[in-house]
Amino acid sequence: MMQPKNHKVQPMDTFCFMNIVAYALLISGFKASMAVSSIGQSQILSDASRTTLTSKGGNFDLGFFTPGNSDKRYLGIWYKKIPERVVWVANSVNPTNDSSGVLTVNAAGNLVLTQNNTVVWHTNLTRQAQNPVAELLDSGNFVVRDVNEANPEAYLWQSFDFPSDTSLPGMKLGWDLKTRLNRKITAWNSPDDPTPSGFSWELLLHNYPEFFLMKGSKKFMRIGPWNGLYFSGIPDLKPNPIYNFNFISTSDEVYFTFSLNNTSVISILAVNQTTSQANRYVWVEADQNWLIYQTLPKDYCDNYNLCGPNGNCIISDSPVCQCLKGFKPKIPQAWNTMDWSGGCVRNEALNCNNGSKDGFIGLTGLKVPETEHTWIDQSMSLERCRDKCLSNCSCMAYTSSNIAGAELGCVMWFGDLIDIRHFPYDGQELYIRMAASELGKERQSKKKLTITIVSTLGAISVVLLLGFCYYIYQDQRKRKMTDNPNDNEGDQNRGESVDDLDLPLLDFSTIVVATDNFSLENKIGEGGFGPVYWGKLAHGQEIAVKRLSGSSRQGMTEFKNEVKLIAKLQHRNLVKLLSCCIQGDNKMLVYEYMPNSSLDCFIFDDTKSKYLDWPKRFHIICGIARGLVYLHQDSRLRIIHRDLKPSNVLLDDKLNPKISDFGIARIFGGDQVEGNTKRVVGTYGYMAPEYAADGLFSVKSDVFSFGILLLEIISGKKSRGFYHKDRSNNLIGHAWNLWKEGSATEIIDTNLVESCNLSKVLRCIHVGLLCVQQYPEDRPTMPSVVLMLGSETELAQPKVPGFYAEKDFIETNSHTSQMEVSSNSELTITLLEAR
């Protein structure tokens, strides 16, 4: 990335006289060997001397560096122990082209960077200094102050006021309204060039101020206004174990800032032009690497104004853009071809001035509209806000401007409502003005909605009941594993062609030969999406071929494109998709073959589970977590797995876990919303309650499944079909009860007891219980799970898990439902549910 290279030492004769003098001054002034954190008026910091300033506590260095493949020199700041990541650059637009750069503090208190006596960068103080000194503080802030002045308010200059691409703890992002100083972070042009690009994170001073990611003067993503708890566009900005954050708004300043809970943890916020992302990173000491903890934009719906005026972006719907209730597409032809820029208009005109009264409908779970045309009163009650909005014909919507504690504060919107989106959990309420006639319809459709929900629950109950019965039936029969290929057959030749980025299509005939015409002996499994066969290509490579069954509604071109995208997802904890094959209506996916089969064959098998001691299981748990972080955050596709379970975790010859079947839901046509049906894919026992019941999926439903998986790995017990002689609970309920009684160790697989580190296992159980909490907003994200597993930081107390209280399902009806049963008697539910 940005590697500061030590410059080559120059022969003495190339030093100019001035540099030699300066060098001497530097040495004497700095009292030789001590690390130095500041320079005064008679001192310099020169590139040629290869010295750096080091902050007093040893956190940060300031010195000269060369980024990436550049040959230029810059003055910058970096964490002492992470020199590859420069967090601040002084002369980003005006580098020196050799190592003759020299930094001084002049009598007026200005920092001056010169090259051969030519000034390349300097500060502009507005106040005169008495006896200035420049000091690198342990916060990473480089400040100029009077030598006897330690009060931060009295600094003459500070680098925190002129951020580069990185926000450090304690830095303010936003405006000083008195000096009109706008502090924003701006991405580098490239890893080789710290020149500010157009991509930035900045605060626009609307009446109700809000942050944006900008590309030049174009809005790229609206982070939204602060609502007392979080920015409206990032509800998952939550109190967390890593950092605290705050938004301050006074008549003098408006800014966002964060601080670290535990200063031994390093976390930064940075923008990147190449990826068009703003990321929060956390340094993971054990890996010597940055973990991406949060990313913006999160998904397609974060694109600014994607759905046009009065549109609403719903990420789990297809297409994602919908008109707000009471609105219809302005240009239906364009709208139907997914050109949403025209947005939506009202079904019924407002009656404001015609005596007949308007009213409001309340929508929930939203990011509030853009606040450019708003009016705000931070102390008005919500009722008065409503009346005030109703009495002004141009007020289109209102809501509470502060949702922390007692809802106080009123914000009103004028004109079109721009850039609204819906969140699968969390989100805010918004009251939208409607004509009286539209409100009547609203009441009716609410009734309809209730009926739908009741009948949906009914449909689910049928499936669950059937599933349960089937499970018992299967359990009574002796379970029989279809396959278990030789464990010692580990060598794999990888064909060259498959390493190309462009996915090769395999001939159907090749696959027929490789799998011996899909012979029964070569069948190694049967998942929810169809049977899987082992095969061997002519050059010796072993493959696993998945024949997709069922009705994928995708066309062939779409299928190929989707497979190509998914094949680009590569991570050491994901099974590699090598190729695909299409023959008539048959679609097949070709994967690398995993000789050790899947995790369920180990953890649920009394003999084989002895192979998996605690270190191996912990390695597997962490690997699965990393694979999920990659799917959720790092990959451009933001894949939600939706069917995570032990049989979808394969093990390679070294027992490294590899997640399989990711992206299949996408191949099957994303969210499968067509007309009025919606397909829920998943496996009961692993599905989060909000997904099983309402089809609401999000990264947090994967987190839930991960939690179950984790508890299964530790207990060696299946989530479903778990019985304890004294209790009628499932695995989660059992784990939860033991946890509450302080006897969580009872759940540990007896095969683990010898090899395990008790405090580590308990920590894992704790993390597992955090993952399976009932409400998605309470569950941690996967990056945070990875951090929790790998550190000693304090963990929150888990709340009641989902599906803990087993529900009584009574109603039945005739909704279409369909079950697919995999070879190892797990249920994969495919539910066609009425909307």
Residue 155 or 188 having the CB closest to ligand NAG: 188
Beta strands 420-422 and 311-314, pairing class: parallel
Residue in the block written with tokens 């946890």: 739
Q: Considering the rule CB under 6 A, would residue 377 count as an interface residue with ligand NAG? A: no
Shortest spacing between CB 824 and ligand NAG, in angstroms: 39
| Beta carbons of 589 and 549 less than 8 angstroms apart | no
Given 59, 91, 100, 294, the residue binding ligand NAG (CB under 6 A): 100
Residue 131 or 274 having the CB closest to ligand NAG: 274
Residue 96 sits at the vertex; the CA angle it makes with 92 and 102, to the nearest 5 degrees, is 100
**206-265: contacts with ligand NAG (CB under 6 A):** 262, 264
Given 41, 182, 195, 272, the residue binding ligand NAG (CB under 6 A): 272
Phi/psi for 359 (5° steps) reads: -145, -160
Residue 98 or 429 having the CB closest to ligand NAG: 98
Residue 441 or 766 having the CB closest to ligand NAG: 766
What does each C-alpha distance from 513 to 93, 332, 483, 496, 534 come to in angstroms?
Answer: 61, 51, 20, 20, 11
State the chain's maximal CA–CA distance in angstroms: 93
Instruction: Please state, in angstroms and rounded to a whole number, the distance separating the CA atoms of residues 585 and 732.
Output: 41
Residue 275 or 445 having the CB closest to ligand NAG: 275
Instruction: Please state, in angstroms and rounded to a whole number, the distance separating the CA atoms of residues 480 and 476.
Output: 12
**438-497: contacts with ligand NAG (CB under 6 A):** none
Beta strands 111-115 and 118-122, pairing class: antiparallel
Q: Contact region for ligand NAG (CB under 6 A) — 421-429, 471-479, 597-605, 792-800?
A: 792-800
Given 606, 726, 794, 808, the residue binding ligand NAG (CB under 6 A): 794
Give the three-state DSSP class for 59: coil
| Beta carbons of 93 and 120 less than 8 angstroms apart | no
Token pair of 203 as six digits: 């605060």
Shortest spacing between CB 655 and ligand NAG, in angstroms: 28
Shortest spacing between CB 528 and ligand NAG, in angstroms: 34
Q: Contact region for ligand NAG (CB under 6 A) — 168-176, 329-337, 661-669, 791-799?
A: 791-799
Q: Contact region for ligand NAG (CB under 6 A) — 171-179, 272-280, 742-750, 802-810?
A: 272-280
Give the distance from CA 655 to its chain's centroid: 27
Residue 523 or 626 having the CB closest to ligand NAG: 626
Shortest spacing between CB 390 and ligand NAG, in angstroms: 11
Q: Which among 448, 324, 421 is positioned nearest to 834, based on CA atoms?
A: 448
206 CB-near residues (< 8 Å, 6+ apart): 225, 371, 372, 374
Shortest spacing between CB 182 and ligand NAG, in angstroms: 22
Q: Contact region for ligand NAG (CB under 6 A) — 229-237, 269-277, 345-353, 750-758?
A: 269-277
Residue 74 or 471 having the CB closest to ligand NAG: 74
Packing angle, helices 731-741 and 758-771, rounded to 10: 120
Instruction: Please state, in angstroms and rounded to a whole number, the distance separating the CA atoms of residues 479 and 474.
Output: 7
Token pair of 257 as six digits: 């800032």
| Beta carbons of 399 and 232 less than 8 angstroms apart | no
Residue 414 or 425 having the CB closest to ligand NAG: 414
Q: Considering the rule CB under 6 A, would residue 415 count as an interface residue with ligand NAG? A: no
Q: Contact region for ligand NAG (CB under 6 A) — 95-103, 175-183, 325-333, 501-509?
A: 95-103
Token pair of 547 as six digits: 């024949």
Residue 64 or 375 having the CB closest to ligand NAG: 375
Binding pattern for the stretch 542-581 against ligand NAG, x by CB under 6 A and - elsewhere: ----------------------------------------
Residue 643 annotated to the active site: yes
Q: How buried is 770 (Cβ within 10 angstroms: 0-12 exposed, 13-18 middle, 19+ buried)? A: buried
Given 28, 364, 394, 743, the residue binding ligand NAG (CB under 6 A): 394
Instruction: Please state, in angstroms and rounded to a whole number, the distance separating the CA atoms of residues 402 and 369.
Output: 15
Instruction: Report the chain's C-alpha Rg in angstroms.
Output: 30
Cross-strand bridge partners of residue 272 = 277
| Beta carbons of 515 and 546 less than 8 angstroms apart | no
Q: Considering the rule CB under 6 A, would residue 188 count as an interface residue with ligand NAG? A: yes
Given 275, 484, 517, 519, the residue binding ligand NAG (CB under 6 A): 275
Shortest spacing between CB 268 and ligand NAG, in angstroms: 11
Residue 190 or 677 having the CB closest to ligand NAG: 190
Q: Contact region for ligand NAG (CB under 6 A) — 93-101, 102-110, 205-213, 819-827?
A: 93-101
Residue 272 or 677 having the CB closest to ligand NAG: 272
Residue 351 or 677 having the CB closest to ligand NAG: 351
Q: Considering the rule CB under 6 A, would residue 274 count as an interface residue with ligand NAG? A: yes
Give the distance from CA 245 to its chain's centroid: 18
Question: 159-170 burial, b for 16+ CB within 10 Å, e for fewer?
Answer: bbbebbbbbbbe
**675-704: contacts with ligand NAG (CB under 6 A):** none
Q: Which among 134, 111, 120, 147 is positioned nearest to 53, based on CA atoms?
A: 134
The DSSP symbol for 727 reads: B
| Beta carbons of 782 and 632 less than 8 angstroms apart | yes
Q: Contact region for ligand NAG (CB under 6 A) — 94-102, 608-616, 680-688, 778-786?
A: 94-102
Token pair of 414 as six digits: 């004028």
Shortest spacing between CB 191 and ligand NAG, in angstroms: 4
Q: Of 643, 671, 702, 749, which one is the catalytic site residue?
A: 643
Instruction: Please state, in angstroms and rounded to a whole number, the distance separating the CA atoms of residues 532 and 647.
Output: 12
C-alpha neighbours within 13 Å on the C-beta side of residue 787: 25
Token pair of 434 as six digits: 């409607």
Q: Considering the rule CB under 6 A, would residue 191 count as an interface residue with ligand NAG? A: yes
Give the distance from CA 202 to its chain's centroid: 20
Shortest spacing between CB 85 and ligand NAG, in angstroms: 8
| Beta carbons of 832 and 818 less than 8 angstroms apart | yes
Q: Contact region for ligand NAG (CB under 6 A) — 92-100, 359-367, 426-434, 801-809?
A: 92-100
Token pair of 244 as six digits: 């605290």
Interface size with ligand NAG, residues (CB under 6 A): 23
Cross-strand bridge partners of residue 582 = 587
Residue 115 or 402 having the CB closest to ligand NAG: 115
Binding pattern for the stretch 10-39 against ligand NAG, x by CB under 6 A and - elsewhere: ----x-x-----------------------
Q: Contact region for ligand NAG (CB under 6 A) — 200-208, 337-345, 429-437, 785-793?
A: 785-793
* Interacting residue ranges for ligand NAG, rule: CB under 6 A: 1, 14, 16, 97-98, 100, 115-116, 188, 191, 262, 264, 272, 274-275, 375, 392, 394, 414, 791-794
Would you please indicate which residues are annotated as catalytic (active-site) residues?
643
